[in-house]
Structure 1
Amino acid sequence: MKSWLSLVAGVSAVAVASCCAAGGPDFDRDIRPVLSDKCFHCHGPDAEKREADLRLDTRDGATALAITPGDPDASELIARITSDDDSMRMPPADSNLSLTDAEKQLLRDWIAAGAEYTEHWSFRPLPSRIEPPAVKFSDWPRQPLDRFVMARLEAEGLRPSPQAEPLRLLRRMTLDLTGLPPTLEDIKSFEQAAAKDMSAALESAADRLLASPAFGEHLAVAWLDAARYADSYGYQSDLLNTQWPYRDWVVQAFNDNLPYDDFLTWQLAGDLLENPTRDQILATAFNRIHRMTNEGGSIAEEWLAENAADRVHTMGAAMLGLTLECARCHDHKYDPILTRDYYSLSAFFNSIDENGMYDRTPIVPSPSLLLPTDEQATR
């Protein structure tokens, strides 16, 4: 389980470190939302709707015409948003948008601080190491990650909550790791162990829960949702589709603590690995569990394209945390994804030997994998 916890800890540390940065207004937290809501419609990435050839979504575009870094009084942006002249004030009256005094002050303070733009945190390179911050309330952290949490609490003028009572901790731990409440037997056993050594009782309970089959089942729920798992084809007839072996593989992968890079690689292209195992091939069902149709009049070639698009969209959302759909019709307006990138990626997912519709018939056999039971395999 260490590899999964390390991944979560690393990402959390980066996010917390970013939130704790001192100085003027934070671009991502304070400035980007204002510009996006009130300005990007006319001065953003959409070239067809852009007014006055002004872009405020990039620093080069903004500083070329509207912003003088370090000098808000010399910045046309400040002059326009504070103007008393209705014909000059931005956003224009017919947009039904307006800036609050607090938002205007944020923009002024940001420009005075240098008008720095930053990429979204998910596109920034991860540093090789992040040093845990020093904290005043040093008795509370039990591990390095706690110091990031404590630093944020201190920055907000807060203190940690009191230590929860033992049974509350057990309930939280059980729900977090298995999605189920503790049983009466679990509670009784924990109380007996906690009476002797609270720390050892918690550690033993955590080990037991991590070793429980319910742990993998609980984690698998979120992934199967992202992977659009279902036991049927969907659409109008919604017939049964035997895909549960993939579901069971996902559960087992979590319970076996399969490294995350392998977890993704096997699902994307496990069948292309050298001498792939049965599980590596089975994992590639990730690419095949989209909806399918057999409605009269359906055009197979059209559905080949739709299936490939579905794989691109699902991979982007589940593995990259990005919505790639926009780039199917035009360059993405907010994320660094071009239409050319979209169709280059789509080509990888359009190489499956299929006919595009229901193809589990003797006439047109689908890509399939025989999964004998242990007894059958030994015969």
Structure 2
Amino acid sequence: MKTVTWAVAGAVWIALPLAVWAADKTVDFNRDIRPILSDKCFFCHGPDAGHREADLRLDVREAAVEAGAIVPSSVGDSTLLDRIATSDPDEVMPPPKAKLGRLTQAEQDLMRRWIAEGAEYQSHWSFVPLAVKPPVPKAGEGWAKNEIDRFVAERWESEGIRHAGEAAREKWIRRVTFDLTGLPPTLEEIDAFLADGQSGAFETVVDRLLASQAYGERMAMNWLDLARYADTFGYQADRDMHMWPWRDWVIRAFNENLPYDHFITWQTAGDLLPNPSKDQVLATAFNRLHRQTNEGGSIDEEFRIEYVNDRVITNGAAFLGLTLECSRCHDHKYDPITTRDFYSLSAFFNNIDESGLYSHFTETAPTPAMPLFEGNQESELL
């Protein structure tokens, strides 16, 4: 978890699109065809059953092929191509009354090429693995220190951007200290770095920062936001909800370099592991960080289901990098997760014994409890 990777995502995002476009001359569904279908077809022939016309779906390959709208590798037999090309106002698609506009000639040509090449669909672009590892460019000679630098340099050169040169040492230590701890370097730390003439001076600074308590606190900030951490219930009364022990565990997990698979497993179901440790049980408070209410007139079961759905949405954002809110109510042409998927996931979180409302006078029922010993208290009590 201590690998510093903030530059990787940006470098790959910059470098890969041009390389993939140049290497792949075939029609790409996600890049070339899905935008056309989305703009012109999916409103009437997409995932929304309430707006679907002629019982035809074009967002699902099997449905489009079964209906005969698309016949893979056969341009002449694909009725979809006839409907987008005809000049008959009663037959053309999209129909004039839809006010979506006709497909341009270039779009029609792309559709023909795509069907001729087999009319292959693709899943959501974020789930498609890269077909090839792009070769490392030779750009950046003289200053590039690693492969990422060379990908960045190649894009810079294509845009006519010149390398600005290395930052001054005092600027570098300020940047890396803010990045890793969220705090500025002290004057003593700056002076020590400027005076260090060893070849490993930069690595020494990074290692020191990674070993600091502030590193765990800085890294935990983003995770606490994703997990919707708070020490209050969040609704109108906003009473105390003592979750700070979980917060401290997250900080320790980063500082102790807990493997990421353990970080996920413990928070998801650490209490179900064989002979779970206290930290493994404590980590599961991740599933208890949702808002809770006791507003007059609130229905217990309604809010219990709200908490279940909140866990689905939070796990989607934290572990899948996906927003799942839309799929709670309906399928959407831009979302890879369906409503069926959403409630299939919710079944995993619908077995926590809890009340949908908390009491002003007693603890929320049931309230998990864990003794938090300090120093030698545990051995003294036992």
**SS across alignment from 1:297:** coil
Q: Which amino acid aligns with 2:293?
A: T
**Conservation of the 8 A alpha-carbon contact between 1:71 and 1:111:** no
Q: Which amino acid aligns with 1:27?
A: F
Q: Is 1:239 aligned to residue 243 of structure 2?
A: no
241-250 vs 24-33, which moves further:
24-33
Q: Which amino acid aligns with 2:167?
A: E
315-324 vs 58-67, which moves further:
58-67
Distance in structure 2 (CA, Å) of the matches to 1:71 and 1:190: 68
Once the two structures are TM-superposed, the CA of residue 191 in structure 1 deviates from its matched residue by: 2.7
Once the two structures are TM-superposed, the CA of residue 65 in structure 1 deviates from its matched residue by: 4.2
Once the two structures are TM-superposed, the CA of residue 344 in structure 1 deviates from its matched residue by: 4.4
| Alignment correspondent of 1:105 | 106
Q: Is 1:220 aligned to residue 224 of structure 2?
A: no
Distance of aligned partners of 1:186 and 1:109 in 2 relative to their CA distance in 1, 3 Å threshold: farther
Q: How does 1:92-131 map to 2 (within 5 A)?
A: 92-98=95-101, 105=106, 108-109=109-110, 111-112=112-113, 114=117, 115-124=119-128, 131=133
| TM-score, with structure 1 as normaliser | 0.79
131-140 vs 10-19, which moves further:
10-19
- For residues 251-278 of structure 1, give each alpha carbon's deviation from its aligned partner in whole angstroms, at most 9, with x where no partner exists: 2212222111111110011111112111
Q: Which amino acid aligns with 1:212?
A: S
| Alignment correspondent of 2:205 | 205
Distance in structure 2 (CA, Å) of the matches to 1:12 and 1:253: 28
Q: Is 1:373 aligned to residue 374 of structure 2?
A: yes
Q: Which amino acid aligns with 1:177?
A: L
**Conservation of the 8 A alpha-carbon contact between 1:178 and 1:215:** yes
| Alignment correspondent of 1:266 | 266
**Conservation of the 8 A alpha-carbon contact between 2:46 and 2:52:** yes
Distance in structure 2 (CA, Å) of the matches to 1:77 and 1:240: 60
| Alignment correspondent of 2:56 | 54
Distance in structure 2 (CA, Å) of the matches to 1:262 and 1:141: 35
Q: Which has the higher contact order (CA 8 A, sep 6+)?
A: 2
Q: Which amino acid aligns with 2:259?
A: P
Distance in structure 2 (CA, Å) of the matches to 1:332 and 1:368: 41
| Alignment correspondent of 1:254 | 254
| Alignment correspondent of 1:189 | 192
Q: Which amino acid aligns with 2:135?
A: P
- For residues 216-243 of structure 1, give each alpha carbon's deviation from its aligned partner in whole angstroms, at most 9, with x where no partner exists: 2222222111111112101121112111
Distance in structure 2 (CA, Å) of the matches to 1:111 and 1:35: 13
Distance of aligned partners of 1:57 and 1:244 in 2 relative to their CA distance in 1, 3 Å threshold: same
Q: Which amino acid aligns with 2:371?
A: L
Q: Which amino acid aligns with 1:20?
A: A
Q: How does 1:1-379 map to 2 (within 5 A)?
A: 1=1, 4=3, 20-21=19-20, 22-24=23-25, 26-62=28-64, 65-67=68-70, 77=80, 80-81=83-84, 87-98=90-101, 105=106, 108-109=109-110, 111-112=112-113, 114=117, 115-124=119-128, 131=133, 133-137=135-139, 139=141, 141-146=144-149, 149=152, 161-166=163-168, 167-193=170-196, 196=197, 200-329=200-329, 334-335=335-336, 337=338, 339=340, 341-358=341-358, 361=362, 364-379=365-380
Distance in structure 1 (CA, Å) of the matches to 2:270 and 2:39: 43
**Conservation of the 8 A alpha-carbon contact between 2:124 and 2:336:** no
Distance of aligned partners of 1:82 and 1:191 in 2 relative to their CA distance in 1, 3 Å threshold: farther
Once the two structures are TM-superposed, the CA of residue 135 in structure 1 deviates from its matched residue by: 1.8
Q: Which amino acid aligns with 1:36?
A: S
Distance in structure 1 (CA, Å) of the matches to 2:339 and 2:76: 37
**Conservation of the 8 A alpha-carbon contact between 1:228 and 1:290:** yes
| TM-score, with structure 2 as normaliser | 0.79
- For residues 162-216 of structure 1, give each alpha carbon's deviation from its aligned partner in whole angstroms, at most 9, with x where no partner exists: 33322443343233323344444443333333xx35x633222222222232222
**Conservation of the 8 A alpha-carbon contact between 2:358 and 2:365:** no
**SS across alignment from 2:313:** helix
Aligned residues: 369
**Conservation of the 8 A alpha-carbon contact between 2:84 and 2:108:** no
- For residues 279-314 of structure 1, give each alpha carbon's deviation from its aligned partner in whole angstroms, at most 9, with x where no partner exists: 111111011111111223333233322222221221
Q: Which amino acid aligns with 2:315?
A: M
**Conservation of the 8 A alpha-carbon contact between 1:300 and 1:356:** yes
Distance of aligned partners of 1:7 and 1:325 in 2 relative to their CA distance in 1, 3 Å threshold: same
Once the two structures are TM-superposed, the CA of residue 338 in structure 1 deviates from its matched residue by: 5.6
Distance in structure 2 (CA, Å) of the matches to 1:304 and 1:13: 42
Distance in structure 2 (CA, Å) of the matches to 1:26 and 1:168: 44
* Matched-pair identity in %: 51
Distance in structure 2 (CA, Å) of the matches to 1:97 and 1:252: 55
Distance in structure 2 (CA, Å) of the matches to 1:310 and 1:152: 41
**Conservation of the 8 A alpha-carbon contact between 2:33 and 2:110:** no
22-31 vs 241-250, which moves further:
22-31
